[in-house]
Amino acid sequence: MTGDQSAADAVAPDYGLIAPITLPADGRIPDEATGVSSPAEYDGYFRLRRDRPDLQAWSRSCLDVQRGILADLALTDLSAEDRCDILAGCLVVLHTTLEHWVGVSGTRSREAA
């Protein structure tokens, strides 16, 4: 990494695993052992790019990731409970995204009136 390149701008090498996804700058899960992880470690591991996507870009990203999850889920040896937990997580993301779309739609309706 050069002096001109920040950790947030660095792109991890593509190992043919998954395409990077976009998350809000403050979104991350803490390390199990310590309860914390640095954003750079987390982003590098999961190949995340941090920025504030517009709602349409976020929605596309959610759909792309969830299509991949659904395709992979049938090929795993996960238990039914684990699969259910993954699907429940997908539903939380979709529910939250739809709430934002409804909020945007309501704002536009009030502005037009």
Give the tens place of pLDDT for each residue, 71-96.
Answer: 999 898 999 999 999 999 999 999 99
Task: Tell whether 60 and 46 lie within a shared domain.
Answer: no
In this predicted structure, the answer to whether residue 105 has a pLDDT above a threshold of 90 is: no
The domain total for the chain is: 2
Task: Tell whether 1 and 36 lie within a shared domain.
Answer: yes
* Residue 37 neighbours by CB distance under 10 Å: 16
pTM for the full predicted model? 0.53
Where in the sequence is the domain holding 64, given as residue range(s)?
53-113
Q: Of the candidates 75, 73, 96, 95, which has an alpha carbon nearest to the alpha carbon of residue 85?
A: 73
In this predicted structure, the answer to whether residue 70 has a pLDDT above a threshold of 50 is: yes
